[in-house]
Chain A
Amino acid sequence: MITAERKPIDEIIEYIRPFQKILLVGCNECVTVCSAGGRKEVGILSSMLQMAFLKQGKSLQMLEHTLERQCDPEYVEELVSMIDGVDAVVSMACGCGVQEVARRYRNKPVFPAVNTKFMGASERQGVWAERCAGCGDCLLGITAGICPIARCSKQLMNGPCGGSTNGKCEISPEVDCAWALIWERLKALNLTERYEEIIPAKDWRNGRGAGPRKIVREDLAE
């Protein structure tokens, strides 16, 4: 999933300072799963903003709505009936959702309420960790199912650097060394000889190297 964290409340207040009526839009997908911008968080942020404005002797009218999927034009269309009655939109979706709202409602200011972080997985209750960098040319088939691009701090494709210590990365004892994980798994799979195959320099055109990316499926595109 795409993970996100709510922005500092002062930053959000600063965005909406000039406005009185705000539409606060959540998303039912990734940001709900990582507890950053689902229906519950929309409710909490709405109360926080109203209280903050009240303290400053100002009034703030909040309209709350959580879409099924904010990165999908079909669902973003739902906001049509609400948009004219507000001064601005605050989105609790990832950057994709924020931009979809901005694209559809050209004349309405849209502000992000979360910082979109990374593509990751849940490690345990309340903990998410980065797993995929979206490089566009998946190496997991040859790196024993652990991604060195997303999980090695130096993006090393051919083994651990000299800072790997007791299975941890040199940058922090909280971070696993991706290559220590890969090596352990290669051993478990009886594939240690694979370690010595050199992974060639990556073609970053599959990633961000060739500019913004797009997928066009001729069989589905209208």
Chain B
Amino acid sequence: MKTESVLEKVLRSGNFAVTSECGPPRGAVPAKILEKANMLGDYVDAVNVTDNQTAMVRMSSFAASVFLRQAGLHPILQMVTRDRNRLAMQADIIGAYSHGINTMLCLSGDHPKFGDHPMAAAVHDIDSIQFIQMVRKMRDEGKFQGGADIENPPKMFIGAAANPFADPFELRVARLAKKVAAGVDFIQTQCIFNLDKFELWMEGVRKRGLHEKCFILAGVTPIKTVGMARYMKNKVPGMDVPQHIVDRMAATPKEKQADEGITICVEMIQRLRQIEGVAGIHLMAIEWEHKVPEIVQKAGLYPRPKIQ
């Protein structure tokens, strides 16, 4: 074990991991985080806490992660290079670790253009791969990025994202290889709807043995309505929703679309479980956290392993 991370323990013990997501509130309302925490309860191994997702200001991932930790959940601190330089990032990493947060996800972040502060300067002092290198150096060498020693270095289980559906497709495996070389421990992928393309990517991943060097959690999202399916297909950059999924939602009566979306999601999880090299799922039920227990149960992934 490199860390005390529960997610690491679940994965290394050979269990199929389940992570989910919690978007912090847009205001000083900790009750909302606890509400989401209660919904997720013991149905997941760890919970991603987003960092100003879609470039909208929210309660900091750090603060919300502390609330989750206090509620007995295991937060995955998300951090983007968009909003902080390397000083601020390292400061927050040792701060978070001091609060018992030992798992994090290193991201570059959505462009400010998509959020409610399009006029903000994006920082991008380092990129996501240099970010992984920095957190690994802090953990394994006990040194800050600038080279000085850290007293009681933060032992973070290091995650990153991968999008097998973005272009150019042919370099997407090489991009993962770069994250592995930088020191990533686990990967959470973009939401998977196009299973064929994901399988093709996994084939490339296995060919290079990358699935043995990091844990790959396959991203899944339940679709609520046919409108959401169309929106993700047409409007979200880097999202690949095949027409047959849109058609299936469209063929379902409106009042049954939510259930159909959950059925599609459960089927997807079952198929992803069969793919060699997939170590778990990352369930992104955006503003639909209360459906997580149902999905996890239907997918046969409950109860979660008891690991402390």
- Distance to closest chain A CB from B205 (angstroms): 14
Q: Mark A159-171, 1 if CB is under 8 A from B, else 0.
A: 1111111110011
Check A154 for interface membership: any CB of B closer than 8 A.
yes
A170 and B111 form a contact (CB under 8 A): yes
Nearest to A184 among chain B residues (CB) is B168
B113 and A198 form a contact (CB under 8 A): no
B127 and A162 form a contact (CB under 8 A): no
A157 and B167 form a contact (CB under 8 A): no
Which of B129, B162, B237 lies in contact with A198, CB distance below 8 A?
B129
Q: Mark A113-146, 1 if CB is under 8 A from B, else 0.
A: 0000000000000000000000000000000000
A201 and B238 form a contact (CB under 8 A): no
Check B61 for interface membership: any CB of A closer than 8 A.
no
Q: How many residues of B contact A (CB 8 A)?
A: 37
B124 and A204 form a contact (CB under 8 A): no
Q: Mark B156-176, 1 if CB is under 8 A from A, else 0.
A: 000001110111101100110
- Distance to closest chain B CB from A186 (angstroms): 9
On chain A, the residues within 8 Å of B145 by CB distance are: 201
A198 and B111 form a contact (CB under 8 A): no
The answer to whether residues A154 and B111 also contact, given A167-B167, A196-B181, A200-B130 and a CB cut-off of 8 A, is: yes
Number of A-B contacts (CB under 8 A): 105
Which of B108, B113, B168, B174 lies in contact with A161, CB distance below 8 A?
B108
A155 and B166 form a contact (CB under 8 A): no
The answer to whether residues A165 and B133 also contact, given A154-B108, A170-B111 and a CB cut-off of 8 A, is: no
On chain B, the residues within 8 Å of A167 by CB distance are: 167-168
A-B CB proximity, top 6 nearest? A162-B163, A170-B237, A163-B237, A158-B129, A155-B124, A201-B130
Task: List 13 interface pairs A-B (beta carbons < 8 Å), by A numbering.
Answer: A154-B82, A156-B127, A158-B130, A161-B166, A163-B237, A164-B166, A170-B111, A195-B178, A198-B130, A198-B182, A201-B86, A201-B130, A202-B125
Contacts A161-B166, A161-B238 aside, 6 further interface pairs with beta carbons under 8 A come to A153-B113, A154-B109, A166-B167, A201-B126, A201-B130, A201-B134
List residues of chain B with CB under 8 Å of any chain A CB: 81-82, 86, 108-111, 113, 122, 124-130, 133-134, 145, 161-163, 165-168, 170-171, 174-175, 177-178, 181-182, 190, 237-238
